[in-house]
Every structure is written in structure tokens, then in C-alpha cells.
Amino acid sequence: MRLHLVLGDQLSHSLSALRDVDPVRSLILIAEVMQEATYVRHHKKKIAFLFSAMRHFAEELKDRGYQVRYVTLDDPDNSQDLLGEVRRAIADAGVSRVITTECGEWRLASEIVTWSDVLDLPVEVRCDDRFLCSIDDFRDWRRDRKQLRMEYFYREMRRRHRVLLEEGDLPVGGQWNFDAENRKPPVAGLKGPKRLSHPKNAITNAVLALVEDRFADHIGTLVPFHFAVTAEQAEAELQQFIDDILPDFGDYQDAMVKGEPYLYHSMIAAYLNAGLLLPLDVIRRAEAAWYEARAPLNAVEGFIRQILGWREYVRGVYWTEMPDYVARNHLSAPRPLPQMYWTGKTAMQCMAAAIGDTIEHAYSHHIQRLMVTGNFALLAGIAPAEVCEWYLAVYADAYEWVELPNTLGMALYGDGGIMASKPYAASGKYIDRMSNFCGGCRYDPKITTGPSACPFNALYWDFIDRNSEKLGRNPRMANMYATWRRMDPFKQEAIRKHADGLLKSLDML
């Protein structure tokens, strides 16, 4: 027998580990284990989504005539770790070879490379060709480049996969990137379309009861549960996005609106990252919407760039920078994560909304992640390891390959400039322009010091001041430093003092 191990985020029928699966000589192993469910305290909805999707995928494999060994979390014989489950399957089924696909986290990958010795069996780890750039190709691309820039990688990926290209390998519309058109603030009354809610069957209901019972102390609410748990349901969400939502995606990509956690975002990241949708299919569908004049180019190009450019790029950075990357802290940010990240309890309306959406949906959109919760952690000097653990735990789409470069690198500048050429630091003014949160907030985004001042403001200038040695010579920060240096020294001192008070009482904000 060959044992084909499929991990919880590898739920694709085209998975490389399943390529030569045989109805008679293959046994497919899928296992729910505490090792994977608790290495960070994942959001309840993330665990429920994955367990339900894993159980549905196992049923589909059985319907296709394959032998599947599915181990549930509450199976009394479950060893609760993946190696233990591989061992039990080997002992029960007489296995001569283990086959799997490279996994998404260094933590587990570095364990799997030892299995062959530990088990005294060949363990074949196949390339994950659901991604459009292999790790070796990324390593080749970045070799000899002093500065990595996603934009150049993305252009190469457009050419390599022939996406939105005209003759002569030129970009359609005459430009590679239309982001300048994609930063509109919300207009009054902006409201995204109603999203699909998938009916829950017996499998999902059983998983919801299990998660409520076993993970009661993890963050998040389980009800209501709207997630797609099969490829067919994920496909329905993609279809809704392409037909009804994509046309407005570009314009309002960076907008934030109270009570509208999704606006015009696709919400497919959890499905892509678990394997229910495949990136190239998604890209081709979005591309077709432009060719058929069903969506404008700024929206289609911006959406495709996230998947063909950004998603592949962060994965390449992760695997070519690990294992040191996880411990980086370029700005020596020292503070523990404030409790509000786990409770959502804060008077800052922008933070309360981003964290509240996260607790309710295991989701918040990219500007909330980058410019609200991420920006606050950056300005307040929260230690990257604490922030990264939070992002990895709370989002249904989060695996370390995607979470770490986005959080440590992009949001916190913890890698000193690999992911971003300058820190994404912003004051309350930015949040006020891009959202409607400030009107209902006890703080005022136009004030920098004093009891009603928006905390982002003093923290912003204090961040600039505090990090002048490391950031002061960055040409992209020159304007900020010039403004700070021109500021009246009494005002500077008042800002420092106010920021110091805020930093000492982050949990009271």
C-alpha cells in the first residue's frame, strides 16, 4: 500500500500527492489532530471551517472510489499528531511508501523531512504545483537582486502565465498596474451586496458541536456560520464575486465602512488557501470578466495582482527567508499585545470594528488588517512575534507562509524592508479619510494631544521620532522627517509626553 497524506489546507483533487492515487493500492490519510488545531489558538470558525471541509473532501474521495482513512478529533485511538497518525496507518494497512505534498509552514515541514528516518520508509514530498511559482523558481528570480520588489515579480508572472497581455508581451490597457484608480474613500451609504450563506448539513453541524465542546476557550463566535465547506460552494462564492462584486472591487478596495466587514472584497482567501479554489482558475475567470466587458480593468488587474503577484510573492519570500525570518524584529519593538486584540474592547472605533469583525467572522479585509490593527501595532511598538501569533490564530485564511511576510514584513516592517520599502505607518487622518469610523468615536482624528486626541496621531509622530536612527535616512520617509523636524520643540515635547502616557496604558484606550 502507498499512503497518501493530505493536510487540512490541501483539499484539492488535483493535489500533487493524489496525482497517481490508485483505488486498490492507495490509502489516503486525512487526520484531525490537536497538534495542528492548537499550535496557535486558532479562531473557532477557522477550525470548524477546516474540519468540515476536510470531512467533505474525504467523502468526495470515497465517492470517487478511493480508500480513505479519516481520523476524527474525538476518535479514542487518535494520537493527536500527524506522525502518530501516519504511524498508526502504516501499522494497520501495511504501507511501503508515504507520499505527501510540501506543506505551508516551516514548523511542520522541518518535522516531515525527518519522517523517512523515523519511520524507516521512503517519504516522498512533492512540489505543491497549485502555486504558480515554485520555491526554486522564486529563489532563482531573487538571486542577484539587491532589492526585491513585488511589482517586477508580478510583471514576470503576467508574462510567464500570459495573463492580461497583448501582443509583444505588453500589458493590456498600456499599464501593468492601475492602483492609482483604486484608492477611493467610501461615499455616504456605501454598502456591499448580500453574501451567500451555505446551508449546514449533518457533517457541518457535528463539527460545530465538536469545536464548541473542545475549543470553547479559543477566540471567536461559531454562530452564525456562513462558510463554504466544499469546492462546489466555494465556486458559488467565486461566481457571485465575479458577476456582482468584482466591478466595484477596485474603486473601494481601501475603503472601510462601519457594519460592512466585506464591502466589495472577494472573501475567497480561506478557500484558496485551503485548496477549495485554485489560483489559476480564479485568475482566468477574472480575466474573462474584463475581456467580456463585465468588469473594468482597474478592478480586474488589481484583483489578479493579489493572486498572481502578491500571494505568490509572499510565499516565495517566506520559504527563501525562513527559518530566521520568524524571529526578526528590525525596529526592536518590545511591547506585549494589548488585551483589546482578543476582546475588541476599546473606545477606538476603528480598532473595535476591525477586531469585532475578526472575532465574529474570522475575517477582516486587507486595509483593516494593514492600516488599523497592523498600523496600531506598528506605531505602538508591539513585538512582532506577539502580533504574528494573533494574525495566524484569528483569520480563517491564515497559514504561516502567507501570514508571516504580510504581518512581520509588510505591516510591522520587522524585516527591515524586504516586503515594504517603508513602514506602512499612518495617523488618524488616513483612517478618517478612508472610513466612516471617526464620526462615532470618542477620539478626534484632528487632535494630537489631550484627552480627546486620536491615539494614532501622537503614536504616529512618536514612532517617527523613536525610530529616527533606523528610518531617518529612508528617502521615502524624508517628508515625514522634514515635517517632524520643522515642528515647534514645545509641540514635539507635548507629543512625546502624550505618546508616553498612551504607551503606558494601551489597555485603557
Query: Which residues lie near ligand DLZ (CB under 6 A)?
Result: 7-9, 31-33, 36-37, 42, 47, 50, 103-105, 108, 399
Scan residues 349-378 and list those touching ligand SF4 (CB under 6 A). Answer: 349-350
Peptide bond into 451 cis (omega under 30): no
431 part of the interface to ligand SF4, by CB under 6 A: yes
Residue 82 CA to residue 123 CA, distance in Å, equals 14
Shortest Å, Cβ 33 to ligand DLZ: 5
Q: Which does 103 bind (CB under 5 to 8 A by kind): ligand DLZ, ligand SF4, none?
A: ligand DLZ
Residue 405 CA to residue 314 CA, distance in Å, equals 6
CA distances (Å), 386 to each of 40, 326, 335, 368, 381, in order?
Answer: 11, 11, 9, 18, 11
Nearer to ligand SF4, 16 or 375 (CB): 375
CA-based nearest residue to 1, from 34, 28, 40, 19: 28
Choose one: 242-250, 323-331, 344-352, 386-394; the region binding ligand SF4 (CB under 6 A): 344-352
Grid cell for residue 258: 462601519
Q: Which does 128 bind (CB under 5 to 8 A by kind): ligand SF4, ligand DLZ, none?
A: none
227 part of the interface to ligand SF4, by CB under 6 A: no
Shortest Å, Cβ 353 to ligand DLZ: 26
Shortest Å, Cβ 198 to ligand SF4: 33
255 part of the interface to ligand SF4, by CB under 6 A: no
456 part of the interface to ligand SF4, by CB under 6 A: yes
Nearer to ligand SF4, 12 or 373 (CB): 373
Task: Tell me how many degrees the CA angle 352-356-361 measures, rounded to the nearest 5.
Answer: 155
Shortest Å, Cβ 437 to ligand SF4: 4
Q: Which does 443 bind (CB under 5 to 8 A by kind): ligand SF4, ligand DLZ, none?
A: ligand SF4
Which stretches within 344-477 are classed as H helix?
349-361, 366-367, 375-379, 384-394, 400-404, 428-434, 455-466, 468-471
Half-sphere exposure of 6 (CA within 13 A, CB side): 31
Residue 319 CA to residue 114 CA, distance in Å, equals 18
Q: Which does 454 bind (CB under 5 to 8 A by kind): ligand DLZ, ligand SF4, none?
A: ligand SF4
Residue 255 CA to residue 257 CA, distance in Å, equals 7
Nearer to ligand SF4, 201 or 452 (CB): 452
Nearer to ligand SF4, 64 or 446 (CB): 446
Contact map string, positions 296 to 315, toward ligand SF4, x by CB under 6 A: --------------------
Nearer to ligand DLZ, 2 or 42 (CB): 42
Place of cell 488588517: 369
Decide: helix, strand or coil at residue 504: helix
DSSP string, 52-113: HHHHHHHHHHHHTT-EEEEE-TT-TT--SSHHHHHHHHHHHHT-SEEEEE--S-HHHHHHHT
405 part of the interface to ligand SF4, by CB under 6 A: no
> In this structure, which amino acid lies at residue 394?
V
399 part of the interface to ligand SF4, by CB under 6 A: no
Q: Which does 456 bind (CB under 5 to 8 A by kind): ligand SF4, ligand DLZ, none?
A: ligand SF4
Residue 239 CA to residue 218 CA, distance in Å, equals 32
Residue 264 CA to residue 245 CA, distance in Å, equals 6
Nearer to ligand SF4, 82 or 340 (CB): 340
Q: Which does 31 bind (CB under 5 to 8 A by kind): ligand DLZ, ligand SF4, none?
A: ligand DLZ
Choose one: 64-72, 269-277, 451-459, 479-487; the region binding ligand SF4 (CB under 6 A): 451-459
Grid cell for residue 433: 479619510
DSSP string, 126-148: E--TTSSS-HHHHHHHHTT-SS-
Q: Site for ligand SF4 (CB under 6 A): which residue of 171, 296, 309, 428?
A: 428
Nearer to ligand DLZ, 269 or 304 (CB): 269
Nearer to ligand DLZ, 42 or 330 (CB): 42
- HEC readout, 328-364: CCCCCCCECCCCHHHHCCCCCHHHHHHHHHHHHHCCC
> In this structure, which amino acid lies at residue 122?
P
Shortest Å, Cβ 209 to ligand DLZ: 16
Peptide bond into 76 cis (omega under 30): no
Q: Which does 105 bind (CB under 5 to 8 A by kind): ligand DLZ, ligand SF4, none?
A: ligand DLZ
Q: Site for ligand SF4 (CB under 6 A): which residue of 8, 220, 296, 445?
A: 445
Shortest Å, Cβ 321 to ligand DLZ: 17
Q: Count interface residues toward ligand SF4 (CB under 6 A).
A: 14
Q: Which does 42 bind (CB under 5 to 8 A by kind): ligand DLZ, ligand SF4, none?
A: ligand DLZ
Residue 508 CA to residue 205 CA, distance in Å, equals 39
Nearer to ligand DLZ, 124 or 179 (CB): 124
Residue 327 CA to residue 412 CA, distance in Å, equals 13
Residue 265 burial (CB < 10 Å; 0-12/13-18/19+)?
buried
CA distances (Å), 330 to each of 88, 139, 379, 419, in order?
Answer: 44, 23, 14, 13
Nearer to ligand SF4, 336 or 439 (CB): 439
Q: Which does 437 bind (CB under 5 to 8 A by kind): ligand DLZ, ligand SF4, none?
A: ligand SF4
Binding-site ranges for ligand SF4 (CB under 6 A): 348-350, 428, 431-432, 437-438, 441, 443, 445, 454-456
